[in-house]
Amino acid sequence: MSTSCVQAFELSPGVVVLEINRPDALNALNTEVINELARQVESVKCNDSASVVILRSVGDKAFVAGADIKEMLNYSTDQAFRFSSLGQSVFSALSDLPQVVVAQVQGFALGGGLELALAADFIIASQKAKFGLPEVGLGLIPGFGGTQRLVKRLGFARALEWMTSAERYSAEVAYQLGLLNRVLEHEQLSSGVELLSQTIAAQGPRAVRAAKRAARAAEASHGQLGFEFEAQLFSACFAGDEVREGLSAFVAKRKPEFRSIAR
């Protein structure tokens, strides 16, 4: 198997796995990971024999703990806009795959990690999983499509609470709010996801793909305008001192002091 930070392989007939392999960094998303994910998504798109894609990661602690803070630390507004636009483009390509995409979340899915899971068609999580959008605590907002997709999943009020409180939510709460399709015992997560994926893959391949297209048509809206606006807002955060304080505090493992920054 490849040592790439993102691997793609066939698990069983009709089922392909996309696996992020950066456990030492809690599978954090940097430019390298996102670009490699783009390459693997494109290869999966051309796999006519696959009906299901399982999106998962290596390690027991985190699905994806977020974007790579150290990489973003000294971004200019232009760099931030390009990073946001790259993530949005790749996550949209993942979302637009003809196959059914199932996110398998075993641990932390925070910030960009939750945004990645939201790009899947549905999410199945371990009872130990945690979800949240902590970006405002860094002086930021979600920049990989999360402001748009979470509103569609939870509705405006719930989504805004998640985005502005920076709180972490248990798998049970996320399930009750409709974010997750299923919550499984931690030890049963992999086998449960594989069983469901194989069940879907056993159905008519053309019908499965057609069902996804029909369902997407039902929820279609002018989402691209929202994505572009989100990228503009994300990059604008880098024009002020708030994001520098938030990112620097994270790297230094201290609490940010936003109120001390001159308005």
Cα 66 from chain centre: 8
pLDDT band at 258 (very low <50, low <70, confident <90, very high): confident
Q: Which of 19, 36, 135, 194 is catalytic?
A: 135
User: Of the spans 210-214, 225-229, 236-240, 250-254, which averages the highest pLDDT?
Assistant: 250-254
Q: Which of 115, 194, 230, 242 is catalytic?
A: 115
pLDDT per position as a tens digit, 167-204? 999 999 999 999 999 999 999 999 999 999 999 999 98
Domains and CATH numbers, the chain: 6-201 (3.90.226.10)
Mean pLDDT of 83-102: 97
Phi, psi at 184, each rounded to 5°: -120, 160
Q: Does the structure show a pLDDT above 80 at 166? A: yes
- CA dist 80 and 71 (Å) reads 10
User: Rounded to two decimals, what is the model's pTM?
Assistant: 0.92
Q: Is 128 exposed, middle or buried (0-12, 13-18, 19+ CB in 10 A)?
A: middle
pLDDT band at 251 (very low <50, low <70, confident <90, very high): very high
Q: Clarify whether 115 is annotated catalytic.
A: yes
Q: Clarify whether 242 is annotated catalytic.
A: no
Q: Is the dihedral of CA 226, 227, 229, 230 positive or negative?
A: positive
- CA dist 67 and 113 (Å) reads 7
Q: Which residues pair with 184 in a beta bridge?
A: 126
15-20 and 6-12 strand pairing: antiparallel
